[in-house]
Chain A
Amino acid sequence: MKPFAIAIAVVILGTVPLWVGGTYYVNVASQILLFGIFALGVNVLVGYAGLVTLGHAGLFGIAAYTGARLLTGGHGHVVAAAGAVVLTLVAAAVFAALSLRGTGLGFVMITVALGQIVWGIAYRWISITNGDNGVSITGRPSPLGLSLASAAGFYWATLSIFLVAVASMAIFVASPFGASVRGTRDQPRRMNALGYHVWMTRFLAFLFSAFWSGVAGLLFLYYNQFVSPQVVALTASAEVLLMVISGGTGTLLGPIVGAALVVVMKSVASAYIERWNFVLGAIFVAIVVFMPEGLVPGTARLARWVWAARRPPAATPVPVADGKSGP
């Protein structure tokens, strides 16, 4: 059942450019995937480690800016991509070392401050970031001879990276380290007493989260071929946090659904409704009221409820305490 569902999902996602009808929608699909990767990365911290971050757009932006500057400096795509990821991880190590001095609200406030520092650099350090004008790059790479210049080519490349990101999350969640991270979220004190290095566990989760945020930032750069301070603004950090929360924190599908919701509202609904931000806000309020756990767990709960209501009560087996049932 589960491998079957995964196969169908991959086939549907893989054929999107063939049936979605038009370059515009293929580009929307690419954006959903790249923001999905970003939201998956943020979810490692917010959902599994229980550390709410409002500074991850800074890491996303550091990857985008580093890639852009390396490319405009005449380096190749491999150097640009590797440099972007490495610098993002170095920045994330500094971010983590500073912000993990606190948890809860303290952690949030330090990530906000760090994100704002990145924004300040993007906006004011004109010799490096070109300030408000941003940095443009020309051309997307052609890995393995496949050109990413077309919408469909870029989509398939993004999809491959997206699938790797999802797989890495699935492996992480089921692993002992994933269990350690969730443990530090639920009972940090007990975890410490049980012999876990709570700080180091959170630090490594932060790096894992930053890695995928950086990859998403790099994809964003290639998608737009342009990066500006808007990318690292506080609202960008808030937006990805809303993706994670609206879809469902600490779930595999939730951040992806949340990313799809926000991207679709932004690009599709804005064509029809001028005040699309208002509609997005109303949707978030509705989610918080009716499905406070997020769209994915909330829908699952509703489905179970409907399923149970449709079956006659007598058909439900009564659990027996000693594990033996029936005459």
Chain B
Amino acid sequence: MTALAVRNLEKSFGGLRVIDAVNLAVEPGERRLIIGPNGAGKTTLFNLVTGELRPDGGSITLFDRDITRVPSRRRAHLGIARTYQIITLFPRETLLRNVTLSLLGLSPLRWNPLVRLERQEALIGRAREVLARVGLDHLAGRPVGQTSYGERRRVEVAMALAQDPRVLLLDEPFAGLSIEERRDVLRLVTAIPRAVTIVMIEHDMDVALDFAERITVLHLGEVVVEGTRAEVVAHPRTRKIYLGE
């Protein structure tokens, strides 16, 4: 059984083929890294997997269940969570409220117009636990607009972790961070239990290579190389794409 499988996936924007017959099979518990230059189609691939975009062809399966036609919001309920490369939080709300909203998304309580959200102690307690996991519990009451960029990156991860996903998609979680902040986020991601399968897009090879077990190199919408860290780094095509040799 594979956690996430993508078969012959196709996506074009007008005449531009952004994803061209991509195949991907990620095992349960695996840490997979997807690298590739700008415009390789990495984020588009994520958007297809989460259902924010509809593929032109091919299929996507989550633990052997075909989700190609499942609406995006249902995929969250089936166990896919993601973070965004461009931070997508609720800036006016507090960190605690942000994570609570993430938990609420999977709860039938989200339709309830009669109870007070503040009083939902079970939900809010879980949100506090998740904030503690990313080391931000001391800032729980602070609006996102008043936090640093590094803290927001960790809230992004917390939003995804709160949903207790089976497959976690991390879109450049280290983008724009200082070296210390990268180390913090890496420690956080490394501590995620193996019950969660992780697929990560990352530009920062130094940090990301340590994390991944298998690496997929995407270039112009196609999978160019796939293999273990050593195989991919040594592969001539990786060198050609990254170093232009």
Chain A residues at the B interface, C-beta cutoff of 8 Å: 171-172, 174-180, 183, 186-187, 189-198, 204, 208, 321-323
How near does chain B come to A181, taking the closest CB pair, in angstroms? 9
Q: Which of A175, A180, A183, A190 is B114 in contact with, Cβ under 8 Å?
A: A175
- For B163, list chain A residues within 8 Å (CB): 194-195
Count A-B contacts at CB 8 Å. 89
The complex places the Cα of A32 from the Cα of B199 at a distance, in Å, of 57
| Residue ID in chain A nearest B106 by CB atoms | A195
With known contacts A186-B92, A189-B52, A174–B118 Cβ distance under 8 A = yes
The complex places the Cα of A89 from the Cα of B110 at a distance, in Å, of 22
Q: Please determine whether B117 and A178 come into contact, CB atoms closer than 8 angstroms.
A: yes
Q: Which of A177, A178, A194, A322 is B102 in contact with, Cβ under 8 Å?
A: A194
Q: Please determine whether A176 and B115 come into contact, CB atoms closer than 8 angstroms.
A: yes
Give the interface SS of chain A, mostly helix, strand, loop or mixed: helix
Jot down 7 A-B pairs with beta carbons below 8 A, ordered by A.
A191-B105, A193-B76, A194-B76, A194-B101, A195-B73, A195-B74, A197-B73
Q: Which of B82, B105, B117 is A196 in contact with, Cβ under 8 Å?
A: B105
In the complex, chain B residues 117-163 whose Cβ is within 8 Å of any chain A Cβ: 117-118, 120, 138, 159, 163
Q: Please determine whether A171 and B73 come into contact, CB atoms closer than 8 angstroms.
A: no
Chain B residues at the A interface, C-beta cutoff of 8 Å: 50, 52, 72-74, 76-77, 81-82, 84, 88-93, 97, 100-102, 104-107, 109-118, 120, 138, 159, 163
- For A191, list chain B residues within 8 Å (CB): 101, 105
Q: Please determine whether B104 and A175 come into contact, CB atoms closer than 8 angstroms.
A: no
- For B112, list chain A residues within 8 Å (CB): 175-177
Q: Please determine whether A183 and B101 come into contact, CB atoms closer than 8 angstroms.
A: yes
The complex places the Cα of A190 from the Cα of B89 at a distance, in Å, of 8
- For B82, list chain A residues within 8 Å (CB): 193
- Beyond the given A183-B101, A193-B81, could you list 20 further A-B residue pairs with CB under 8 A, ordered by the A residue number? A171-B113, A175-B114, A176-B110, A176-B111, A177-B111, A178-B113, A180-B110, A186-B93, A187-B88, A191-B105, A192-B73, A193-B52, A193-B72, A194-B73, A194-B101, A194-B106, A195-B74, A204-B111, A208-B113, A323-B138
Q: Please determine whether B90 and A196 come into contact, CB atoms closer than 8 angstroms.
A: no
| Residue ID in chain A nearest B88 by CB atoms | A190
The complex places the Cα of A192 from the Cα of B88 at a distance, in Å, of 12
Q: Please determine whether A186 and B113 come into contact, CB atoms closer than 8 angstroms.
A: no
How near does chain A come to B96, taking the closest CB pair, in angstroms? 12
How near does chain B come to A83, taking the closest CB pair, in angstroms? 25
